[in-house]
Amino acid sequence: MAIATVNPTTGETLKTFEALGDAEIRDRIARAAAAFTSYRLTTFEQRAGWMRAAADLLDADSEQLAQLMTTEMGKTVKAARAEVAKCAAGCRFYADHAAEFLADEPADAGAVKAVEAYACYQPMGPVLAVMPWNFPMWQAMRFAAPALMAGNVGLLKHASNVPQTALYMEELFRRAGFPADVFQTLLASADKVELILTDPRVVAATLTGSTPAGRSVAAIGGKQLKKTVLELGGSDPSVVMPSADLAKSAAVAVTARVQNNGQSCIAAKRFLVHADVAAEWTRLFVEKMQALVVGDPTDAATDIGPLATASGVTDLEDLVDDAVQKGAKVLCGGSRPAGAGWFYPPTVLADVDESMEIWTEEAFGPVAVVRTFADLDEAVRLANDTQFGLGSNFWTDDPAEQQRFVRDAEAGMVFLNGMTTSYPELPFGGLKNSGYGRELAAQGIREFCNVKSVWRGEASKGAEE
């Protein structure tokens, strides 16, 4: 894919970039490795000072950055502003908590016949981050903030359609005061990931993106015996039980589905509704989906902007067409509008079953499927009937039903009576084809640390005497 800014609202190519060649990539890796030799010795206090400066710069640059993200990938400018604010909060969170998350952990010295024993967390070196375009700042920041606070150095290979946002990241950390080359953006094509990860100076990788890209990076990492963390796709269920607040769950369901123009890994995508309340809930949901304003993402009144890429629209169209051909009913939307830009309307499909690709694949756009169930057993079965295991939502007032879902949901995250959201305070990640490892919270910053066990015995004086 060409490395370029192409405005999804118009389809116009605004700026193209030359991709780095092999020699330039090796030179950048050498610089990262050199930077690590001194950066690993900096203190949490120093790193926190720079990280807080980065947060202040994000606040100051918010409007310019929001406009840039909207131009590069089409998210509404109000969503883009919120994303910048979230990045600043993420920086401050790790500036405040990294030292505590990575503090030495004492072990029972007596049990291991030591005077002192503990585990400590140490940085590993240059870590590669392969990132997607859908939250172009937040996805990269939730790698960068913990990685840099832990004393690692970062190499960002961002998605090819958000090069200016990617370059901003490198500039941000430099302006904030981090030493040279501690965070570098590599404008490189996806086929250079192997070159980067097989370089012995690169110690590990994290990838957020599609399942095929995750498999590829995991295979390279496996061959090299390098740790990888993978945050991949999702087809999250949202289950509505009869005791749920129907109006609230239908309203939140709309946001959960169409956030980021429907292009979120943790968007609820499959809505499972108890048969007793299905008619009323679906009516409320469809009414709200139809009322959404689709259009220019820079307009404050717009709820849904364009999809980020032309292929995103055709992929979505193919899923909807396949479902309709196999008997799904279109309750609203279902066909793309004429005119410029990669728009797709909010769409709700009913009468969906397992034979349809939209049930088994991830729909990356504002298309929801609604399916009814008869009892909790069936709800859990349908919720887990997916190759993915990222987030899951469950709406009920019944504590026993809540506990059953917490126990049985095959997912990395369960949100009860709410939609899945990422918070710096909570570990984020999934299982099955949604990947492995965790980002955020204490778990996220520890992923790229060497957990070193330290055992100290009695100092022997006999030898000297």
Enzyme catalytic residues: 231, 265
Q: Is 206 in the site for ligand NAP (CB under 6 A)?
A: no
Q: Smallest distance, Å, CB 455 to ligand NAP?
A: 37
Q: Is 310 in the site for ligand NAP (CB under 6 A)?
A: no
Stretch of 157-165, 271-279, 296-304, 446-454 contacting ligand NAP, by CB under 6 A: 157-165
Stretch of 6-14, 26-34, 156-164, 288-296 contacting ligand NAP, by CB under 6 A: 156-164
Which of 152, 164, 216, 259 forms a contact with ligand NAP (CB under 6 A)? Answer: 216
How far apart CA 438 and CA 373 sit, in angstroms, is 32
Backbone φ, ψ for residue 105 (5° rounding): -115, 110
What Å distances lie between residue 71 and 89, 256, 295, CA to CA? Answer: 23, 23, 13
| Closer of 387 and 402 to ligand NAP (Cβ) | 387
Structure tokens at 318: 């193919």
Stretch of 49-57, 78-86, 225-233, 366-374 contacting ligand NAP, by CB under 6 A: 225-233
| Closer of 75 and 158 to ligand NAP (Cβ) | 158
Question: In this structure, which long-range contacts are made by residues 191-198, counting pairs with CB atoms below 8 Å and at least 24 apart in sequence?
Answer: 192/19, 192/20, 192/22, 192/25, 192/157, 193/128, 193/130, 193/157, 193/217, 193/220, 194/220, 195/22, 195/25, 196/25, 196/29, 196/128, 196/155, 196/157, 197/128, 197/221, 197/224, 197/226, 198/223, 198/224
Which of 131, 252, 376, 449 forms a contact with ligand NAP (CB under 6 A)? Answer: 131
What Å distances lie between residue 115 and 10, 197, 459, CA to CA? Answer: 68, 40, 9
Q: Is 169 in the site for ligand NAP (CB under 6 A)?
A: no
Backbone φ, ψ for residue 245 (5° rounding): -75, 105
Could you give the 3-state DSSP secondary structure of residue 429? coil
DSSP annotation of 428: B
State the residue number with the nearest CB to ligand NAP. Answer: 209
| Closer of 1 and 103 to ligand NAP (Cβ) | 1
Stretch of 53-61, 209-217, 401-409, 444-452 contacting ligand NAP, by CB under 6 A: 209-217
Residue identified by tokens 């994303």 is: 83
Residue 452 C-alpha from the chain's centroid: 29
Q: Smallest distance, Å, CB 287 to ligand NAP?
A: 28
Q: Is 392 in the site for ligand NAP (CB under 6 A)?
A: no
How far apart CA 118 and CA 124 sit, in angstroms, is 19
| Closer of 184 and 282 to ligand NAP (Cβ) | 184
Backbone φ, ψ for residue 37 (5° rounding): -60, -35
Q: Is 361 in the site for ligand NAP (CB under 6 A)?
A: no
Q: Smallest distance, Å, CB 200 to ligand NAP?
A: 19
- Judged by the rule CB under 6 A, the positions of this chain that interact with ligand NAP are 1, 130-134, 139, 157-160, 189-190, 193, 208-210, 213, 216-217, 231-234, 265, 362, 364, 390
